[in-house]
A and B are shown apart, each in its own frame.
Chain A
Amino acid sequence: MNLSNEEIRSKILEFLKTNFFLDTKATPLKDSDSFLQKGIIDSTGVLEVINFLQTDFGIEVLDSELLPENIDSVGNLISYISKKTETHA
């Protein structure tokens, strides 16, 4: 899979919109905004993110990768997804 960062970003935002009722028009989300601080995801939400990474990108998230630097913002997710899909290819 060779998606551009822009394509990955729009998939992430779409997922946040459907699953967490995020209205990016009313509350713009910057790439660096922490999901945790913004109250977007909590401990059950993180499981949905894992599920999303698996179904949409074929990424198996290891428990040891459950780190904010991989998951806690749109920007972090983009780099994590790019890294994981590269090694898979």
Chain B
Amino acid sequence: MTAEGTGIVLDVTGLTKQFGGLTAVDSVDFRVQERQICSLIGPNGAGKTTLFNMVAGQYEPTSGDVVFDGRSLRGLRPHDITARGIGRTFQNIRLFTNETLLENVLVGMHSRLRSSPFAALLRLPSQRREEAEAHARAMDLLKLVRLDRFADESAGNLPYGMQRRLEMARALASQPKLLLLDEPTAGMNPQETLAMTTLIRKVRDDFGVAVLLIEHDMQVVMDLSERVTVLNYGQKIAEGTPREVQRNDQVIEAYLGRRHKRPEDEVAGAHA
């Protein structure tokens, strides 16, 4: 069941984004394989979220390409990309706070439902069947994230940790092949973080999705990911297994700063 797929789900090549004079993401390449959990790490402002937003279609890349499932996503709008099979969560949670949990998840299914407004006006049998199935599936997803008890509550009333899990259920509702999670454990206590890590792994195993996550909690990154890509100032500075990345000098430098140099190095540097 967990046979590692060899297909490449996401292939990012030479992806660049410039905001005016600032190059937020500078020709980054990386790949995500089927059913793989990948992490995107880097200091604040390294361009991780910008990269996410390009993959999800929120931003138009300045150059480069994103190939998903063998087809380029170039020029597609966010909702088309969701329909293709990329689901996402947001760094600062963006739930529909006035809607119930159930409605939130149902909106997540939007691209998988077909009924036209006319079918809804006439309440055709096909539309009723589709709605019933959608409701059942939404409840299953709420059960998965253990929020089914609050199905009819407004999402805005949920405490923070639950909101993150609801966002995850909502993203899964679109039946993605690739799940983009932007800091899924941000602001969580260790207990909640552990539960989220477990959930992410379970989702990968049960739904067979590939997961690309941005994360600052190194424990989570090392624990969860099979592959790590490190960005700094918009450039990819390292890539590999968590262990490889942990030992990479450039990565250590990016996070902790340059190692203290001997005086002769300083002099040599000054002459150059």
| Chains A and B bind each other | no
Interface residues of B (CB under 8 A from A): none
